[in-house]
């Protein structure tokens, strides 16, 4: 009945007809394009990286020369920011990536939309998804996985990571204090979140040998003045870009509640490079050393 009604109207007939023609064309053309016919390559020459830590790892492995495109979250190293950007890795454009003629796309497992990833695979491009890591084991595994994909030797990058982590271990052995630290994500005044249990921030604090003042919370939770006073942190850690968004330390201290805490009274605010720390990329060891020194005065400047 529906079909007959549709066909009775000229509009319906016209739509049905054009739809049929268009899809027939898609079908025919898709049949002739064989996606598996793409060039078989062993060592990729043109890589597009979707995800900040993936890009950082590629450059750390010395494969930076082969990277021809990155996403908007790839802010390190400097050389990566000069490459064509294909949009934010959660919302990248398939055609933008195809236009860079990559033979390998390495995507963080959070990259998407899934339709765009499917389009890349459909075009015969090798798309490899790498698990994001939020602990040290994951950081090592990701370096090895990406090295395997690009045919690079993971040795030097892993050795550097291990050296950094050994240094972290040495620092941690000398730690005598155990401050309570609140990890704050800021997106501007009035829009603050604190890191509770089960967040990358909590893992970073654990590795820095401090207590998470946000332990009572689960996940990321909005800042509340009373909760901050109750948490009584000795220090506050936040990404440096977040601190800028608040207008520096004074802007952060103006947030309700903080002035009443030990951290606020002593002005113990530590700005960290979140690209080093929260992505658990190849520079996680460096980031942890900086954080340990900043949070444990007994370690001294000379380390």
Partner 1 sequence: MSRGTGKGARIRGVFVGLATLVVVGVALELTVGAAPVDVAEQLMCVLAGEGCDPGAQYILTSLRLPRALVAIAVGAGLAVAGAALQGLFRNPLADPGLVGVSAGAALGAALAIALEPRLPGVPAGFAQPALAFAGGLAATWLVHRLARVRGQTSVVGLLLSGIAVGALSSAAIGLMSYLADDRQLRDLSLWLLGGLGGASRDVALVLVPCVALAGALLWRRARALDALLLGEAEAFHLGVDVERLRRGVVTEVALAVGVCVAFTGMIGFVGLLVPHLLRGLVGPRHRALLPAAALGGAGLLLVADATARTVLAPAELPVGILTAMLGAPVFLTLLSRVRAQEAV
Smallest separation (angstroms) from partner 1 to the CB of 223: 11
Using CB under 8 A, pick the residue from 188, 222, 247, 248 that binds partner 1. Answer: 222
Piece of the chain touching partner 1 by CB under 8 A; list 108-116, 165-173, 229-237, 279-287: 108-116
Is 186:245 a contact under the CB 8 Å cutoff? yes
Using CB under 8 A, pick the residue from 46, 64, 119, 175 that binds partner 1. Answer: 119
Footprint of partner 1 on 50-79 (CB under 8 A): 69, 72
Using CB under 8 A, pick the residue from 1, 115, 137, 173 that binds partner 1. Answer: 115
91 binds partner 1 (CB under 8 A): yes
204 binds partner 1 (CB under 8 A): no
Using CB under 8 A, pick the residue from 62, 64, 77, 87 that binds partner 1. Answer: 87
262 binds partner 1 (CB under 8 A): no
Give helix 52-60 / helix 136-150 axis angle, nearest 10°: 60
Using CB under 8 A, pick the residue from 54, 150, 184, 193 that binds partner 1. Answer: 193
Using CB under 8 A, pick the residue from 21, 24, 25, 79 that binds partner 1. Answer: 25
Smallest separation (angstroms) from partner 1 to the CB of 279: 12
Smallest separation (angstroms) from partner 1 to the CB of 118: 7
Q: Could you tell me which of 239, 297, 229, 228 has the C-alpha nearest to residue 268? A: 297
Is 62:155 a contact under the CB 8 Å cutoff? no
What are the two backbone dihedrals, phi and then psi, of residue 176, each rounded to the nearest 5 degrees?
-115, -25
42 binds partner 1 (CB under 8 A): no
37 binds partner 1 (CB under 8 A): yes
16 binds partner 1 (CB under 8 A): yes
Smallest separation (angstroms) from partner 1 to the CB of 218: 12
Using CB under 8 A, pick the residue from 24, 113, 163, 174 that binds partner 1. Answer: 113
Using CB under 8 A, pick the residue from 163, 174, 178, 187 that binds partner 1. Answer: 187
Smallest separation (angstroms) from partner 1 to the CB of 296: 28
Smallest separation (angstroms) from partner 1 to the CB of 259: 23
Using CB under 8 A, pick the residue from 124, 138, 251, 257 that binds partner 1. Answer: 124
Is 214:222 a contact under the CB 8 Å cutoff? no
């Amino acid at each position: 009945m529906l079909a007959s009604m549709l066909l009775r109207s000229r509009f319906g007939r016209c739509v049905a007809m054009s739809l049929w023609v268009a899809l027939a064309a898609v079908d025919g053309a898709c049949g002739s394009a064989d996606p598996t016919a793409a060039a078989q390559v062993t060592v990729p020459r043109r890589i597009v990286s979707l995800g900040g830590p993936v890009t950082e790892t590629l450059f750390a492995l010395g494969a930076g020369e082969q990277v021809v495109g990155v996403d908007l979250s790839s802010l390190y190293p400097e050389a990566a920011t000069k490459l064509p950007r294909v949009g934010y890795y959660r919302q990248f454009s398939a055609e933008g990536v195809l236009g860079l003629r990559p033979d390998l796309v390495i995507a963080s497992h959070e990259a998407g939309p899934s339709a765009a990833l499917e389009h890349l695979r459909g075009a015969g491009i090798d798309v490899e998804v790498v698990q994001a890591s939020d602990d040290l084991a994951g950081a090592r595994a990701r370096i090895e996985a990406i090295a395997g994909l690009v045919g690079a030797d993971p040795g030097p990058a892993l050795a550097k990571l291990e050296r950094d982590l050994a240094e972290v271990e040495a620092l941690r052995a000398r730690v005598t204090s155990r401050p309570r630290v609140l990890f704050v994500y800021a997106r501007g005044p009035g829009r603050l979140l604190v890191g509770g249990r089960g967040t990358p921030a909590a893992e970073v604090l654990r590795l820095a040998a401090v207590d998470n003042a946000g332990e009572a919370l689960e996940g990321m939770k909005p800042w509340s003045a009373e909760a901050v006073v109750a948490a009584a942190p000795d220090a506050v850690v936040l990404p440096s870009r977040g601190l800028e968004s608040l207008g520096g330390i004074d802007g952060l201290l103006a947030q309700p509640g903080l002035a009443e805490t030990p951290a606020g009274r002593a002005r113990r605010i530590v700005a960290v490079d979140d690209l080093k720390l929260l992505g658990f990329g190849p520079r996680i060891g460096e980031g942890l050393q900086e954080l340990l020194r900043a949070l444990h005065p007994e370690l001294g400047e000379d380390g």
